Amino acid sequence: MSQYFKHKGITHPKLDRYVLDHTTTESQLLSRLFRDTYVKIHHPRRTSDHLTGKFLEMICRMIKPDRVLEIGTFTGYGALSIAEGLPNGSELHTIEINDELEPYLISWIKESPHLNQIHLHIGNALTIIPEFNMLFDLVFIDGEKDQYIDYYEAALKKTRPGGFLIADNTLWSGKVLETDIPENDHFTRGVMRFNDHVQADERVENLLLPLFDGMMIIRVK
């Protein structure tokens, strides 16, 4: 495996530092949330970070979506980043399956100046998404990696033609390059199946970018 895949992300640590030094700083709210996640929450590496958050914010500023769906809120860093890029009047629906995180999420959402644009849903995304009676302009997929195809298919039905889906962690620390994947490594296998599934899907066009831990950008035809 390449040396560049030995840490979270796919670039060299010194290059990561350079990129951060030349990216607009995150808001104080996001900075506090990131630190608090690492102090108080189990598996804090699951959170989005400064670069991913700024990427999501910029995407929202570029395409100006009316509605955004996020699958996998965790502690809310991605959701708050998306909200910072939303036009006035637009809304974000974010889904988190872990109900124990609900009080934590609500406390941070209440601190956001965009709180009225954020709608938190607690439960299984595969149950919640079919109940939406709306279409989304942008979907961010960042839930359990072995369910990515299921999330994708559910979200695709609720994404308008010309809309976008973005899936995080689609290079999975370089493990997608390995040929001998253990049977019990469901996340690596899930990511690989998802990438192949999207590549073969004639309903969309897609671009797999070597950003962060891999970003698959998908446009619905």
Backbone angles phi, psi at 74, to 5 degrees: 55, -120
* Average pLDDT per consecutive 10 residues, the chain (221 residues; last block may be shorter): 43 83 97 97 94 97 98 98 98 98 98 98 98 98 98 98 98 92 94 98 97 95 98
Residue 58's alpha-carbon distances to 33, 90, 144, in angstroms, are 19, 15, 24
The residue behind tokens 């942008």 is 138
Quick check: helix, strand or coil at residue 7?
Answer: coil
pLDDT of residue 10: 56
Amino acid at 68: V
At what angle are helices 50-63 and 28-40 packed, to 10 degrees?
A: 140
DSSP string for 54-115: HHHHHHHHHH--SEEEEE--TTSHHHHHHHHHPPTT-EEEEEES-GGGHHHHHHHHTTSTTG
What is the C-alpha separation between 175 and 192, in angstroms, rounded? 9
What's residue 184's pLDDT?
93
Whether domain 3-220 has CATH 3.40.50.150 = yes
pLDDT computed for residue 116 by the predictor: 98
Residue 97 confidence (pLDDT): 98
Main-chain dihedrals φ then ψ at residue 5, nearest 5 degrees? -105, 10
Phi, psi of 112 (to 5 degrees): -75, 140
- Whether 170 and 214 have beta carbons less than 8 Å apart is answered as yes
Cβ-count burial 104-125 (b if 16+ within 10 Å, e if not): bbeebbeebebeebbebbbeeb
User: Which pLDDT score, from 0 to 100, does residue 211 have?
Assistant: 87
Amino acid at 181: I
Residue 16, classed as helix, strand or coil, is helix
Q: Is residue 174 within 8 Å of 214, Cβ to Cβ?
A: no
